[in-house]
């Protein structure tokens, strides 16, 4: 044990750097992550008036139907329209199967949106659960 202490004292630059890195890892600000919610979770979120439902599918996909009150911004346009979204509200993203909307949820988190959710399984899961859609 004394050999380790002697080494750390002799290598004080290394020891200090290591301690600083460990502290940053433990206490540093971690990037905020979005939450993945299933259809039941979305229904619960919809009880809150403070929710933006963001449909990022293409127009031709949306023709098959969409979740009521969803705002439609195709994925390719989301980055350019971040200013039109309220950062103080909860935002639920969805696409056809939940894969593309993950990227959009990550983009929102990187741009200081703090309450971001992604629908697991996307619109396909919504339909499979027999939940209402609009056309």
Number of Cβ within 10 Å of residue 40's Cβ equals: 10
- Separation CA 2–CA 87 (nearest Å): 54
109 given a catalytic annotation: no
Residue in 95, 105, 116, 119 annotated catalytic: 95
- Separation CA 108–CA 106 (nearest Å): 5
- Separation CA 100–CA 30 (nearest Å): 23
Q: Which residues are catalytic?
A: 95
């Amino acid at each position: 044990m004394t050999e380790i202490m002697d080494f750390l004292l002799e290598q004080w630059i290394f020891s200090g750097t290591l301690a600083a890195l460990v502290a940053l890892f433990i206490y540093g600000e971690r990037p905020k992550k979005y939450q993945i919610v299933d259809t039941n979770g979305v229904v619960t979120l919809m009880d809150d008036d403070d929710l933006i439902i963001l449909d990022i599918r293409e127009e031709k996909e949306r023709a098959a139907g969409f979740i009521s009150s969803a705002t439609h911004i195709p994925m390719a346009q989301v980055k350019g329209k971040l200013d039109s979204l309220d950062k103080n509200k909860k935002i639920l993203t969805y696409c056809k199967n939940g894969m593309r909307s993950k990227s959009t949820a990550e983009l929102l988190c990187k741009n200081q949106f703090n309450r971001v959710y992604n629908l697991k399984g996307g619109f396909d899961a919504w339909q499979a659960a027999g939940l209402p859609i609009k056309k």
